[in-house]
Amino acid sequence: MRVLGVDPGLTRCGIGVVDGVAGRPLTMKAVGVIRTPSEAAVAERLVLIERGMEEWLDAHSPEAVAVERVFSQHNVRTVMGTAQASAVAMLCAARRGLPVALHTPSEVKAAVTGSGRAEKAQVAAMVTRLLRLEAPPKPADAADALALAICHIWRSPAQNRLQQAVAAQRLKGTIR
């Protein structure tokens, strides 16, 4: 399974591509950042993010895209831009028919470090170890994007089972 993880942001969108299945060693395929100039208008920055996402999706053909779920409780200064960048990332994936999964920052931290409250450096250290890299990926947004992809690979079997169970119950009419 190949997953493209996106740590959304208007200034820097971290992107990481990871191959693997739960329970087997993982492989980093690519990592990078889509940057947009802070002096540009928001609409122009969203066009640049769209273009960058299209290039990443074309180049790596992932089977799924995992995007960090944005919360409004975050820093109010940046949260709107983060929500807008994540919208473009989700849009690019969904209109190609790719499944889009959202994972919260604590789900990602818990997946790769065992603690939902781990610090950024700990996440980067575990990403480096799990992907057998020689040095932590930089910038931090890139490490977070790889962590998202890893989280998705490890969580998706459980998520799929859950979704199947919910769908089965819906068919029986026991839940709506």
Nearest to 28 by CA among 159, 116, 135, 173: 135
Count of all residues that appear for the chain in the document: 176
| Site track for a copy of itself across 127-166, x = CB under 8 A | ----------------------------------------
CB of 75 to a copy of itself, least distance (A): 9
> How many CB atoms lie under 10 A from the CB of residue 161?
10
Token pair listed for 26: 């993982």
Work out whether 79 is an interface residue with a copy of itself (CB under 8 A).
yes
Out of 86, 124, 131, 148, the only residue in the binding site for a copy of itself (CB under 8 A) is 86
Out of 23, 24, 43, 134, the only residue in the binding site for a copy of itself (CB under 8 A) is 43
CA–CA dist 138, 175 (Å, integer): 45
CA–CA dist 176, 173 (Å, integer): 7
CA–CA dist 145, 120 (Å, integer): 12
Work out whether 17 is an interface residue with a copy of itself (CB under 8 A).
no
Residues that bind a copy of itself (CB under 8 A): 41-44, 46-47, 50, 70-73, 76, 79-80, 83-88, 90-91, 93-95, 100, 102
Residues involved in catalysis: 7, 68, 141
